[in-house]
Chain A
Amino acid sequence: MTDYGAFATDPLFGLPLQELWFGLVFFILGMFLFLDGFDFGVGAIFATRDDDEERETLLAAIGPFWDGNEVWLVVFGGALFAAFPAVYANLFSRHYLLMFAILGALILRGLAPEMYEQRHDEAWQTWWGRAFVVGSVSAPFFLGVFAAHWLLGVESLLSLPGVVVGLAVVALTVVAGVGFLAMKTRGSLQRDVADYGPRAMAAYLALVVVTLGYLVAVRPDLGVLAPVPLALVAVSLAAAAGYLLALREGRYTLAFGTVPVLVFAFVALVATLMFPLADPATGLTVADAIVSVLPLNIMSVASALLLPLVFTYFGILYSTFSGPIETGESYS
């Protein structure tokens, strides 16, 4: 047997790897929510367009990106499995039907644009258009329910806080979708889309406030009023103000730039309120659930090598398709 020495017994460079991995898992979830979030938002906005050309433009805007964006969810599942297998197993099996609701929504969302482009008769496109909208709205909704139930340790399929957070995540994806499309489109479509921004943001902020109020009143144990959560709320408010101002001034790239701040503040809030627990329903802490030192060291080295490459791939992809969608550019 190979002797792995200190690599098998001591965390790499003495780093606090358990906490870093807890953070990394949520960072990956945040990447998914940010990147696929704007795809979901585009799907929701799709419902408001009935002009064929505008619909084609919306699909073309996310065409090259959505598949890569969705892989962040695969990596989230993988990272959670690799670092906190007990959390992955408990969480996913406890939310059995919810997980399949998420998967069903993602199947619909992934399949619909591909199908939409296959035939150009009206009935076919009407139905696949609807499927695209339903998938794009229900996926973030169920993901929001999942995040709330994870944090609050709720075991039922639906709960009031779950629904509120689910709607908040849907609103957040619309905020992201507006930012993305305002940047990628031109003309009347661009103006129409940008108009949805303030309403989506108002809905998001209202739902977050309701959630926080609920947590302060019902779950004081989570410590919402501690400095870090309050700072994250302040960051969210500042980013929201920036988003609205930038939209009003027509600085759409800047508006879209505030979206990751909003998304990561949201995800960081969930993670901060949860820590040091990793699965509140079972009371498992990060320290309980983490894998042993050797596999953790291996995965840390692998991630440190691979994640920079992943960011390079995304850099190439996004720079290839930067700039506005040209007229007549279609999905496939």
Chain B
Amino acid sequence: MLDPVIASRLQFALTTIVHIIFPVMSMGLAPFLIYFTWKDIRTDDPVYEQLRRFWTKIFAVSFVVGTVTGIVLEFEFGTNFAAFSTAAGELFGGPLATEGMMAFMLEATFLGVFVFGREKVSDALYMVSAVAVGLGTWLSAVWILVANSWMQTPRGYELARESGQLVVSLVDPIAAYANPRFPWMFVHMQNAAVLSVALFMAGVAAYHVWQRGISADDDREGARFWRKTLKIALVVLLVTAPFQAIHGDAYGRHVYETQPQKFAAMEAVWETDSYVPEYIFAIPTSLDGITDPRAKELFGIGIPGGASWLASGGDPQAEITGLNEFDTEAPPVAIVFWSFRLMVAAGFWFILLAFWAAYRWWTDELYDDDLLHKAFVGSSLLGIFAVEVGWIVTEVGRQPWVIQGVLRTSEGVSPGLTGFEATLTLAGFAVVYTGLLALYTYVIRRIIREGPPSVDETAAGSEAASPAGVTGDD
């Protein structure tokens, strides 16, 4: 049996790592679906109805899995982290309740209209439903990130002890909820979601272009659909990929200023120093050193002064406080260090990929470069991967704190929880969520293989086919 603290932390990690995939899909797809719906209503071009219907299918499946895995997270604060919930409920419960009422309700009700109601409502109400669903997914992120960012940079609270128990009470809601981390997180997360979905769309489209040998003037069924998907995804990728890197750089400086211990873990800096190199790569010489990426006897490639330069925004002499300087134990440094590098490497790869594809587009070879298509196919899930490792930096990096500087994660776990119960549910989730991911993958692959509805099945396509203008759908 595992210790209930370890089991609870692993379970929360597992359930969040799986859950975040689905909101990334729905938040990232939202702006695309709003655009497709708008164009579908405003033009006679059947490709927009194809785009809307095809990507709505993927959205709907993602949303369902996101709902059932999301409720788990909301309940886990109570089941596994009762001490945290009791202590911080006054600050933390409000944003969660507001998320439910303001965002989730909007999203879930209008999703019914959006998925099932095209034939039943007017164009205007259908457009409203697309916007409402999209807005709902993004408002959800607002409130979840308000709650999370407060844990990273807590403000607006007072600490008291009531009968020996720590109570965090809300004294300044504006300071608490408009805390310094929130805008950084929100922009980084939403851009990451759109970027991840753009990569996914580009990967799926490139797969069809590559496998079917679709060329620029190909008029086979579906050819135009996949070319259009690839181009739209590419335009979005060209904007979001560079933006993510520029924004991430500034975000890093904010972390350096507000969570120095996390920043030190990201760079694996143990002793306070200036002119700290940025290690791109570091290998310990023995397995013992695996948890300490910058242990002495290692092989590494570092840019002199690089970490200091990044932390301060241009000064290679800037001082970075080492992990040994803090009163609390360091977070698991290797996890934070490597996750950070994987995220950054993925981010640079996305920029390269975007520029490569843009160059091919410019030279009219976008549909001819199979190496590019293979690169897109291979990168289709890398956006989600980067989101995962990015969140690992954020959440593992703030350990041992659940609320930075206020409450340790180990003190937040439910006091009555036994190792048996916690291990049992952890094992249960490991099995159920593996099955869930396998099913989700299976279903999405089927939808992708099946491709979009044919042009004749669309309203515009069937009107064009029958001179009398009788629609074939009804």
Contact = CB atoms under 8 A, between A and B. Distances in A.
- A and B co-occur in one complex: yes
Nearest to B84: A89
Contacts of A316: 109-110, 113, 125
Contact of B79 (A83, A92, A294, A302): A92
Interface of B: 57, 60-61, 63-65, 67-72, 74-75, 77-83, 85-86, 88-94, 96-102, 104-106, 108-113, 115-117, 120-121, 125, 132, 156, 169-175, 414-417, 421, 424-425, 428, 432, 436, 439, 443, 446
B105 A299 contact: no
Contact of A115 (B77, B98, B174, B439): B439
Contacts of A106: 68, 71
A96 B418 CA distance: 10
A71 B97 contact: no
A198 interface: no
A57 to B, nearest CB: 14
B406 to A, nearest CB: 15
B59 to A, nearest CB: 12
B interface, over-half SS: helix
Contacts of A88: 77-78, 85, 89, 93
Contacts of B86: 85-86, 89-90
9 contacts: A68-B112, A75-B105, A92-B82, A96-B417, A99-B79, A104-B432, A106-B71, A114-B64, A303-B97
Interface of A: 1-2, 4, 8, 63-65, 67-68, 70-71, 73-75, 77-79, 81-83, 85-86, 88-94, 96-97, 99-100, 103-104, 106-107, 110-111, 114-115, 118, 291-292, 294-295, 298-299, 302-303, 306-307, 309-310, 313-314, 316-317, 320-321, 332
Contacts of A299: 94, 97-98
A64 B115 contact: yes
B424 A321 contact: no
B40 to A, nearest CB: 18
Contact of B78 (A67, A77, A115): A77
Contacts of A111: 64-65, 68, 436, 439
B68 A321 contact: no
B93 A85 contact: yes
Listed residue (A68, A93, A94) with the most chain B CB atoms within 10 angstroms of its CB: A93
B153 to A, nearest CB: 16
B96 A81 contact: yes
Nearest to A85: B89
A291 B94 CA distance: 10
A78 B78 CA distance: 11
Given A115-B443, A291-B89, A317-B109, A89 B78 contact: yes
Contacts of B132: 313
Given A78-B96, A93-B79, A313 B105 contact: yes
B97 A82 contact: yes
Given A1-B171, A68-B109, A70-B67, A91 B78 contact: yes
Given A85-B90, A321-B112, A94 B416 contact: yes
A78 B175 contact: no
CB-CB nearest 8 A-B residue pairs: A85-B89, A92-B78, A64-B112, A78-B97, A82-B93, A81-B93, A89-B82, A93-B414
A75 B108 CA distance: 12
A110 B100 contact: no
B75 A85 contact: no
Nearest to A88: B78
A73 B100 CA distance: 9
Nearest to A102: B75
Nearest to B99: A78
Contacts of B174: 2
A107 B22 CA distance: 14
B104 A74 contact: yes
B117 A67 contact: no
Contacts of A303: 97, 101
